[in-house]
Amino acid sequence: SIDYEKVDSNTKFLIFPIAVIGCGKTTTALILKNLFNWGHIQNDDIHNKKDKAILIKRSLELLTKDDTKCVIVDRNNHQFRERKQLFEWVEQYKEQYLSYDTNIKIIGISFVNSIDDLDRIKNVTVNRVLQRGDNHQTIQLNKYGERKVVGIMSGFWKRFQPVAEDRIPDNLFDLLIKLDVNNENHENSSLINSMTIINELHEKYPILIPKMPTTMELEDAFKQSIEFKIPSKTK
Ligand code: IDP
- pLDDT tens digits for 150-163? 999 999 999 999 99
Pair 68, 38: CB distance under 8 Å: yes
pLDDT of residue 230: 64
What is the number of H-type helices and E-type strands within the chain? 8, 5
> Which of these, 196, 161, 201, 165, lies nearest to 181 by C-alpha position?
196
Pair 137, 230: CB distance under 8 Å: yes
pLDDT of residue 144: 81
pLDDT of residue 233: 43
Determine the Cα–Cα distance for residues 62 and 13; give it in Å rounded to an integer: 11
pLDDT confidence of 234, banded at 50, 70, 90? very low
Is the CB of 21 within 6 Å of ligand 1? yes
pLDDT confidence of 235, banded at 50, 70, 90? very low
Atom 18, ligand 1: residue with shortest CA distance: 24
**pLDDT tens-digit profile of 16-57?**
999 999 999 999 999 999 999 999 999 888 877 788 899 999
The minimum-distance atom of ligand 1 relative to the CA of 136 is: 6
Pair 225, 31: CB distance under 8 Å: yes
pLDDT of residue 93: 96
Per DSSP, 214 falls in state P
**pLDDT tens-digit profile of 53-93?**
999 999 999 999 999 999 999 999 999 999 999 999 999 99
Pair 177, 19: CB distance under 8 Å: no
- Centre of ligand 1 from the C-alpha of residue 93, in Å: 31
Mean pLDDT of 104-116: 97
Helices 215-226 and 189-204 cross at an angle (nearest 10°) of 130
Q: Which residues contact 41 (CB under 8 A, 6 or more apart)?
A: 55, 58, 59, 62, 71, 72, 73, 74
pLDDT of residue 108: 98
Average pLDDT, the chain: 91
Mean pLDDT of 106-112: 98
- Centre of ligand 1 from the C-alpha of residue 162, in Å: 20
Atom 7, ligand 1: residue with shortest CA distance: 24
pLDDT of residue 105: 97
Q: Which residues contact 39 (CB under 8 A, 6 or more apart)?
A: 33, 59, 62, 63, 65, 68, 70, 71, 72
pTM of the entire predicted model: 0.93
Is the CB of 101 within 6 Å of ligand 1? no
Pair 55, 75: CB distance under 8 Å: yes
Is the CB of 225 within 6 Å of ligand 1? no
| Interface predicted TM-score of the whole assembly (ipTM), two decimals | 0.99
H-type alpha helices, the chain = 25-36, 54-63, 80-97, 115-132, 141-144, 146-159, 189-204, 215-226
Pair 139, 152: CB distance under 8 Å: yes
